[in-house]
């Protein structure tokens, strides 16, 4: 949330809220269509539409060209409005061009009448979708309570004639909004009855009743403080669908909360690790080497859930038919059963997670990692390494200079990343082993993993190992869910985030067949359960796998031996300069907001100070380091959002602006200290 956006939202300077002349976008160009034959029912909305065009649009400084004269018909009116709305939606998302017909659809059983206020209202199947008295006021009252709620984004259940969308955008000019409309036919009809709201920036649409579309829209917005707008009439029409969406909203909010807590806990560690790994960022080959390398070959992905113990005795036989991809936690048990995996995936930033690698002998596997992984990993696994693109602004800053490494999916667990590595490599089927997403047998990890051994080693009479396992299982609100074997398994909120990720990926990549051989693990909608015997029945492909792996390993090793990237010390110097400049700008912002607060208290003219703050905002927006520093400002932003979105007094806005500038100062200083530390101690400056 930018400082300028705050001042705009709370109308400290009202003239900055005026939209530009071309704010209508594609909607400003209205196509003139020939008169067409009109049904009697379609005449009903004519008066209310004209009232809207004559009364409402001029108040916004707009006019909308519509057919007039003796030949004009309600169908002409509808065609003009529909063409405008369709053009604007296509400008937002080109996919609308394929699902919305070129001509407005007939209204069918949709009844349009003028409400007492003069606005059009709708009735379908005997139920009114909007108020018969004042639908605009009804919508305004629906969104008014949100002004006092913490809100990072909102989701609207049902489009209708757009009154709620209009009211929301009028009240909250910069809050992201997802509009979900399960009825594509109704959506097309109403697009011909009323112009879309003036402001559609920050609005996305999920139309047609496909939960995958809703999931994609939710993944693109900040969901931790997601507010839901549920018009009762729309909810009742599709109650089953909205129940599914309710669950998805809950999962999105839970995922966002977990992500925020993770950032709070590990944000500084990620920064330090990434700086420590800068030599690898510069010189290691990227995940761009992976796509399609093992096309058509099966893969066995070894996660470290309790059920992995049931697969390990069969691992040598399973290896004959599949590329073996092991997560770091599963590497030790895998090697103790005499099998070196082909690929090892390590992405955890924590020192304690790197302890999985203690006392392991050298392996011929290829390491796939991410740039903020604990640096200790690369010292303990001197293996040919492929680096994936960073998820964080600091990593993207460096990759903009040295070249993108290539993205690998991240669903919050190393098992999600390992699955996506196999998918990128072109493997199918992908057989998941040890993917329990729960606690079968009341265990948390496979026997023989570092965490299991550590818990047993640290167990004492007053706090035995079973107590530690119990505490872990009950730390995230556990509950029982159906298991693959027909029984049930204990799972928790954390595991539901990973479950949601796997289910969504199955929908996004239907051509990638995935099996789960964990009988006691959580049942997933998108990944069917297969007995281990099905995986054992796959034909022997080991010779082909080894040849492909040798070729890839040679390519990675040659790259490391011959690639000459930029000097890491020069990259650090450039970053230091960018951060220093940002720090100075943010410090000026702090000083100016202090002066502005005093000016407002004295009821003096604030305009000169506001112009200076506008300059500060532009300098921050233009800074290459602003996104880097903003990465660690989540708590400041959350506190600002938690204060609500009601129209604030000037002093409240200044206080929020001051907090944001102060947050930038503190984050820039933290990054500068991390850069200085890396410069002094070299690549050992991370979490070691």
What pLDDT digit, counting tens, does each position of 169-213 carry?
Answer: 989 888 899 999 999 999 999 999 888 887 788 999 999 988 888
Q: Residue 455 has what pLDDT? A: 42
Tokens of 232: 């009762």
pLDDT of residue 518: 93
Q: What is the pLDDT of residue 313?
A: 94
**pLDDT at residue 49 is higher than 70:** no
**Do residue 597 and residue 530 come from a single domain?**
no
Residue 620 within a domain: yes
Whether 107 and 213 share a structural domain:
yes
Residues 530 and 634 in one domain: no
Same domain membership, residue 541 and residue 400: yes
On whether the CB atoms of residues 370 and 390 are closer than 8 A, the answer is: yes
* Shared-domain flag, residues 556 and 580: no
pTM above 0.85, yes or no: no
Same-domain status, 101 and 241: yes
535 assigned to some structural domain: yes
419 and 510 together in one domain: yes
pLDDT tier for residue 51 given thresholds of 50, 70 and 90: very low
Chain segment 346-378, per-residue pLDDT in tens: 998 888 878 877 777 778 899 999 999 999 998
**How many whole angstroms separate alpha carbon 678 and alpha carbon 276?**
6
Is 584 found in the same domain as 521?
A: no
Q: Of the residues 514, 534, 562, which one is the last residue of a structural domain?
A: 562
Task: State pLDDT tens for residues 422-437.
Answer: 999 999 999 999 999 9
Q: Are residues 540 and 576 in the same domain?
A: no
Within-domain flag for 112: yes
> Per-residue pLDDT for 121 more than 50?
yes
- Residue 25 in tokens: 């976008």
> Are residues 507 and 394 part of one domain?
yes
Instruction: Report CA-CA distances (Å) from 175 to 11, 168, 170, 218, 631.
Output: 15, 9, 11, 14, 19
Q: Which of 436-440, 523-527, 541-545, 684-688 has the highest mean pLDDT?
A: 541-545
- Taking 70 as the threshold, does the pLDDT of residue 467 lie above it? no
Residue 683 has pLDDT above 80, yes or no: no
Tokens of 89: 């939606």
Q: Are 415 and 464 found together in one domain?
A: yes
| Number of domains, the chain | 3
Report how far residue 188's alpha carbon sits from residue 9's, in angstroms, rounded to the nearest whole number: 32
pLDDT band at 448 (very low <50, low <70, confident <90, very high): low
Kindly state whether residues 513 and 586 are assigned to the same domain.
no
**What are the tens digits of pLDDT across the range 669-680?**
999 999 999 877
Span 592-624, pLDDT tens digits: 999 999 998 888 999 999 999 999 999 999 999
What pLDDT shows up at residue 77? 82
Answer yes or no: is 62 within a domain: yes
Structure tokens at 111: 């009844």
Task: Give residue 638's pLDDT band: very low, low, confident or very high (50, 70, 90).
Answer: low
Residue-level pLDDT at 221: 85
Domain, as residue range, for 182: 31-255
Over the chain, what is the mean pLDDT?
81
- Torsion angle of C-alpha atoms 658, 659, 663, 665, degrees rounded to 10: 20
């Amino acid at each position: 949330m930018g400082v300028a956006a705050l001042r705009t939202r709370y109308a400290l300077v009202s003239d900055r809220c005026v939209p530009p002349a071309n704010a209508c976008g594609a909607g400003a160009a209205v196509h003139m269509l020939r008169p067409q034959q009109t049904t009697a029912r379609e005449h009903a909305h004519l008066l209310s539409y004209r009232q809207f065009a004559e009364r409402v649009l001029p108040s916004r400084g707009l006019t909308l060209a519509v057919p007039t004269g003796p030949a004009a018909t309600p169908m002409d009116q509808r065609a003009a409005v529909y063409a405008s709305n369709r053009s604007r939606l296509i400008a937002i998302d080109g996919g609308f061009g394929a699902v919305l017909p070129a001509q407005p659809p007939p209204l069918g059983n949709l009844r349009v009448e003028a409400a007492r206020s003069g606005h059009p209202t709708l009735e379908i199947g005997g139920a009114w979708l909007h108020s018969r008295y004042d639908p605009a006021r009804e919508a305004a009252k629906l969104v008014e309570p949100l002004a006092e709620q913490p809100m990072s984004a909102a989701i609207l259940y049902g489009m209708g004639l757009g009154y709620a969308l209009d009211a929301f955008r009028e009240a909250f000019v910069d809050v992201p909004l997802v509009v979900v409309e399960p009825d594509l036919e109704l959506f097309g009809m109403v697009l011909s009855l009323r112009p879309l709201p003036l402001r559609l920036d920050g609005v996305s649409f999920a139309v047609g009743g496909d939960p995958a579309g809703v999931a994609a829209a939710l993944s693109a917005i900040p969901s931790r403080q997601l507010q839901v707008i549920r018009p009762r009439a729309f909810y009742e029409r599709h109650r089953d669908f909205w129940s599914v969406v309710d669950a998805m909203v809950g999962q999105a909010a839970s995922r966002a909360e977990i992500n925020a807590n993770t950032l709070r806990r590990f944000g500084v560690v990620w920064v330090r690790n990434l700086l420590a790994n800068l030599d690898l960022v510069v010189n290691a080959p990227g995940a761009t080497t992976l796509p399609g390398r093992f096309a058509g070959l099966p893969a066995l992905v070894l996660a470290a859930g309790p059920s992995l113990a049931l697969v390990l005795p069969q691992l040598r036989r399973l290896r004959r038919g599949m590329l073996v991809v092991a997560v770091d936690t599963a590497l030790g048990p895998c090697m103790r059963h005499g099998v070196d995996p082909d690929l090892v995936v390590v992405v955890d930033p924590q020192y304690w997670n790197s302890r999985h690698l203690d006392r392991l002998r050298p392996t011929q596997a290829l390491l796939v990692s991410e740039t903020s992984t604990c640096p200790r990993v690369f010292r303990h696994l001197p293996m040919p390494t492929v680096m994936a693109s960073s998820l964080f602004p600091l990593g993207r800053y460096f990759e903009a200079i040295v070249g993108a490494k290539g993205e690998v999916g991240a669903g919050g667990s190393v098992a999600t990343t390992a699955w996506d590595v196999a998918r990128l490599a072109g493997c199918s089927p992908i057989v998941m082993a040890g993917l329990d997403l729960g606690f079968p047998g009341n265990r948390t990890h496979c026997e023989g993993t570092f965490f299991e051994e550590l818990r047993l080693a640290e167990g004492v009479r007053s706090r035995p190992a079973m107590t530690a396992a119990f505490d872990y299982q009950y730390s995230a609100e556990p509950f029982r869910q159906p298991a693959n074997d027909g029984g049930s398994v204990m799972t928790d909120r954390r595991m539901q985030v990973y479950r949601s990720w796997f289910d969504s990926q199955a929908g996004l990549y239907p051509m990638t067949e995935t099996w789960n051989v964990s009988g006691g693990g959580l049942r997933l909608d998108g990944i069917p359960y297969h007995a281990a015997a099905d995986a054992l029945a796959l034909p022997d492909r080991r010779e082909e796998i080894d040849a492909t792996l040798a070729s890839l390993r040679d390519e990675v090793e040659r790259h490391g031996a011959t690639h000459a990237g930029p000097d890491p010390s020069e990259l650090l110097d450039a970053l230091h300069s960018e951060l220093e400049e940002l720090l100075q700008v943010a410090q000026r912002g702090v000083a100016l907001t202090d002066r502005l607060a005093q000016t407002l208290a004295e009821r003096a003219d604030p305009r000169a100070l506001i112009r200076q703050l506008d300059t500060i905002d532009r300098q921050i927006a233009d800074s290459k380091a602003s996104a880097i520093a903003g990465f660690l400002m989540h708590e400041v932003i959350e506190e600002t959002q938690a204060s609500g979105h009601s129209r604030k007094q000037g002093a409240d806005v200044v206080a929020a602006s001051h907090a944001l500038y102060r947050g930038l100062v503190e984050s820039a200083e933290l990054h500068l200290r991390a850069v200085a530390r890396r410069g002094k101690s070299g690549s050992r400056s991370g979490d070691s």
